[in-house]
Structure 1
């Protein structure tokens, strides 16, 4: 379950950002995830709850935005969203 490892890193980054800004509490984390990242939204949400359970991040909310993946053609320069993964 790599979502837990991802959220542990998000937590570390959030703690660093809070410390750098003199923050005493983390209220929310906004995270953009590409649709082809291979991360499950529900698993990310569960992992978030686990890693944010204590300290200054206790009670923080996750604002998760799924964003389309974009591929670019090196020949014509057109960008498109792939419909599936091979």
Structure 2
């Protein structure tokens, strides 16, 4: 196995770990793993490694969906809490 394949294998494993962290909503762990993976992906890769990079991209698409969903859920919860606080404030002033 060449050094370059080892680098892509490491990047793929980090990507899988990132996906697991995203599915578990472990956002700090996800960010730490992404920071480890970043330099591995910035290297030049051979044509033989394209299939592995394709899997990395597929995982990244799923991660973006998970992060977007979590962000939307957090925004909705914030709006609910903000609305509840306004209602309590209005009731207290009545």
Shorter-chain TM range is 0.3 to 0.5
Higher strand content, 1 or 2: 1
Choose 1 or 2 for highest CA Rg: 2
Higher helix content, 1 or 2: 2
TM-score, normalised by the number of residues in structure 1: 0.36
